[in-house]
Structure 1
């Protein structure tokens, strides 16, 4: 990679962020596409967020990616929001275009692109069960609704029902989708909905430390369904281990990470990220089997 006076910068901004795989993905994409760019990780305190956004314009950067805790805090500093970012209520990508900062959210796009490319799954007219009503789940629910899912059922904890219902109502009203929110502690109801689902998704962080979701002990997945987890570390979560034990096709969140990055990269550069090549490099670098 040659750095010169024409090199443009992109970055991922969060706290913490030094463990991020994103610099590996984007710098390989810059190199392979011949785009003169460099991607770095910035771990900043919240009081520097406004200055960071100013610097995108000041230094003519491509833009930035954002992770927690800045996906919502960044919105007041932006000039525009894309439809997905507006409906989700969170931004993971800032695009610098013609002097404006445009907030975008590529999480849901990346999630369904990974299912399409890696599992040949298309969400239109499908029934989905989503476990969790937080940020990642909201991105997936929003994109599913935009892409024409038939029914979306969200399960969340009792204390999150009202908040999740309000979000679901807003997305349903904007897209015309059928979205229902149900309590996750009703195991019979969970099994009933999963039994009718084409896709079951864990959109929570439960499973990163080996902990099982509250639904996992006796759940049975339909034979023609797909099970997905947004987590990619560990590579096989308890949910995916359970589904694989039943012979159900399963996928973790590494593909989502790659394809949400690809959407951001194309938004910045106009170039298509070489995802097949980068996937092979990820598998080799992180010893994924």
Structure 2
């Protein structure tokens, strides 16, 4: 594993900090530009690379992928689909958020050890706090129970959601997430649902944490008629920024929360973990919004 030289503000690093994003089909990500903008603002020498399994031939086993990237001198990794859960058992230590959520989206490689974190949790919490501060939170429907969905679920229950309905196309994934939530928050705060129309009818808010709506997977994650004007609707997809779900919800008069907030704030927390520096959030936001 790499022996990281972490660059702090005001120091002259011996070499650039080498960070990567590990995932599949990530060519459209805005994450590198945000990190590089923050590093430039802080005066840090910083490289950010995409490690895309659709572009580069990688080993099949996640353990072999991590070993390869460590050998290539990476000091840290952001991790996205389909590796967030796969890398979890490969960490030497886990943050409480990563342990609770059961997924890792940030890996710090330092002093021969792998530290796994989950910044999606705080990223969504901060986005919700700032973007929909007055949203009612008695009953909420969460669509998608994967790595990002797990982080959102924990953030919602931490934010005071009384009853969380969880739906995933893979019933077992939803069952496993609800079991984790029961263990952490006590029983009856979350439930698996299969009737999306009924769950939406009972909910005040709807959140899409599935990949449906991404540029490579367009569409709605639930029937259009299930969305009502009194709902608030959030999406964690940010490519495109205006997903079909958000456009449909806006047209019906719903309050909406785009995926840009979670994308920004998870990157803010990850940058601090990689560098030890507080990033310039405004510069990171400008970088995010510079995409056309």
TM-score (norm 2): 0.81
Which range moves more in the overlay, 50-59 or 72-81? 50-59
Aligned residue pairs total 274
CA contact (8 A) 2:93 2:116 kept: yes
Pick closer, same or farther for the CA change 1:243–1:271 going to 2, 3 Å.
Answer: same
Contact 2:123–2:263 (Cα < 8 Å) also in 1: yes
Query: Are 2:22 and 1:13 equivalent residues in the alignment?
Result: yes
SS at match of 1:19: coil
Whether contact under 8 Å (2:127, 2:265) holds in the other structure is yes
Whether 2:215 is the aligned partner of 1:215: answer: no
| 8 Å Cα contact 1:113-1:259 kept in structure 2 | yes
Q: Which runs of 5+ in 1 are unaligned?
A: none
Match of 1:134 in 2: 146
Q: Aligned in 2, Cα 1:72/1:219: closer, same or farther, shift over 3 Å?
A: closer
How far off its partner does 1:266 sit? Answer: 1.1
The counterpart of 2:186, out of the listed 163, 176, 179, is: 176
160-169 or 133-142, which moves further after superposition?
A: 160-169
* Distance in 2 separating the partners of 1:240 and 1:6: 43
Question: For 2:274, which of 265, 268, 273 is the aligned residue?
Answer: 268
**Cα RMSD (Å) of the superposition?**
2.8
The question of whether the paired residues in 2 share the 8 Å contact of 1:184 and 1:215 is answered with no
Ranges in structure 2 where 5+ consecutive residues have no aligned partner: 1-11
Whole-angstrom CA distance in 2 between matches of 1:77 and 1:22: 24
CA change 1:98–1:123 in 2 (3 A) is farther
1:191-228 Cα shifts (integer Å, max 9, x gaps): 4322xx2x320111222344223332253142xx5311
CA apart distance, 1:141 = 0.5
1:259, CA displacement in angstroms? 1.1
Distance 2:178 2:206 in 1: 17
Alignment correspondent of 1:67: 80
CA contact (8 A) 1:95 1:102 kept: yes
How far has the Cα of 1:190 moved from its partner?
A: 2.5
Distance 1:133 1:72 in 2: 12
Q: Which moved more, 1:41-50 or 1:127-136?
A: 41-50
1:75/1:253 Cα in 2 relative to 1: closer, same or farther (>3 Å)? same
Output the CA distance in 2 between the equivalents of 1:65 and 1:162.
26
Do 2:88 and 2:104's aligned partners in 1 also have CA atoms closer than 8 Å?
yes
- Pick 1 or 2: higher relative contact order, CA cutoff 8 A, min separation 6: 2
Contact 1:205 1:231 in 2 (8 A): yes
Provide the C-alpha distance between the structure 2 equivalents of 1:14 and 1:191, rounded to a whole number of angstroms.
31
Alignment partners' CA distance in 2, 1:93 and 1:7: 19
Alpha carbons 1:145, 1:172 under 8 Å: kept: no
